[in-house]
Amino acid sequence: MVTIDCHLHVTEVPEHAPEWWVREMYAPWGWEVGSVDGPAIVEHLDATGLDVGMIQGGDIRRTTHHPEHPHDRRVLVPNDYVARQVAKSGGRLYGVAAMDPLRDIPAAVLELERCVKELDFRLLKLVPTYHHYNPKDRRLDPLYEKCLELDLPVMIHTGWTATINSAMEFQDPIQLDDIGRRYRDLKVIVAHLGYPWVDEGVAVVAKHPNFYAEMAGWTAWGPEILAGALSKLKELGAIDRVVFGSDNTDARDLYRDARRIAASQGTEITDEEMAGIMGGTAAELFGISA
Ligand SMILES: [Zn+2]
């Protein structure tokens, strides 16, 4: 069965983002500021034993700000750059569409359609906290409706980020409940499962059968929290709606340890369920075959 990492970032520094911005975002993890292109992601997949990666760029120019760098705010990894990385990956990478909807909603809808129909992208990424909007804001509806029309899943960032100018008020995954009530067929991936609002993330995914949980970046939070989330999702009948994302980290130990902890607490994540998390569920969601 194909294994899939559905949450990976490509960024060339400083072409796509100022150094200060990358440093601020990754500061808590002590990561090096460096460029990550498609070939680097393929190397990462090889190193972590995965078949396929979904790569995303983004446009955060409108809301990027630092008082000491007032003119150095160009955070833009274009969709066409992502498509070029996909094209040279020999089938290992798939594109994720990203844009700033609030710059121009009709233009965002057209760009999404272009990404899917011309570039064969398989997912839309939204980042409400970085873009300062509530994901349930009705201005976003044309994008959600286009996703339904294209049968395209949407991944929505929830939870914490170290980026200072992000708006924490839009990080709580409870704000996705309204989307779940209004769009019962829209496939929504709750990125980062709302950490630190993990219980809210579990609740919203368990409630809506069209919602999926994804825990990218949780290597930073440790296996106990992952074990707890997986156990609760299993208890509530949603373990078959967990997809694997890494945020460019090596999460192998994290999942192995989380499974062990969950088992020691009485919740067995079976091999079959694990295969679903590591790619089976995502393959179906994104139309990716082995
Ligand atoms: Zn990410």
pLDDT, one tens digit per residue, over 64-82 is 999 999 999 999 999 999 9
Give Cα separations from 207 to 106, 178, 241, 244 (angstroms). Answer: 31, 12, 12, 20
User: Does 290 score more than 80 pLDDT?
Assistant: no
Distance 103 CA to ligand 1 centre (A): 21
Distance 163 CA to ligand 1 centre (A): 12
Distance 66 CA to ligand 1 centre (A): 21
Distance 184 CA to ligand 1 centre (A): 25
Distance 74 CA to ligand 1 centre (A): 18
User: Does 90 score more than 80 pLDDT?
Assistant: yes
Angle at 94 between CA 116 and CA 221, to 5 degrees: 120
**Which amino acid is present at 144?**
Y
Three-class SS state of 171: coil
Structure-model confidence comparison of residues 190 and 220, the more confident one: 190
For residue 156, report the phi and psi dihedrals to the nearest 5 degrees.
-115, 125
* Enclosing H/E stretch for 126: strand 123-126
Average pLDDT, the chain: 96
Average pLDDT over residues 247-251: 95
Domain count, the chain: 1
Distance 266 CA to ligand 1 centre (A): 31
Average pLDDT over residues 236-254: 97
User: Does 28 score more than 90 pLDDT?
Assistant: no
Distance 251 CA to ligand 1 centre (A): 14
Threshold 0.95, pTM exceeds: yes
User: Does 249 score more than 90 pLDDT?
Assistant: yes
Distance 100 CA to ligand 1 centre (A): 16
Confidence of residue 30 (pLDDT cuts 50, 70, 90): confident
Distance 264 CA to ligand 1 centre (A): 30
Residue 157's contacts (CB-CB under 8 Å, 6 or more residues apart) are 125, 126, 127, 128, 129, 130, 191, 192
Residue 183 belongs to domain with CATH number: 3.20.20.140
Give me the domain span that covers residue 23.
4-286
Distance 215 CA to ligand 1 centre (A): 10
pLDDT, one tens digit per residue, over 103-162 is 999 999 999 999 999 999 999 999 999 999 999 999 999 999 999 999 999 999 999 999
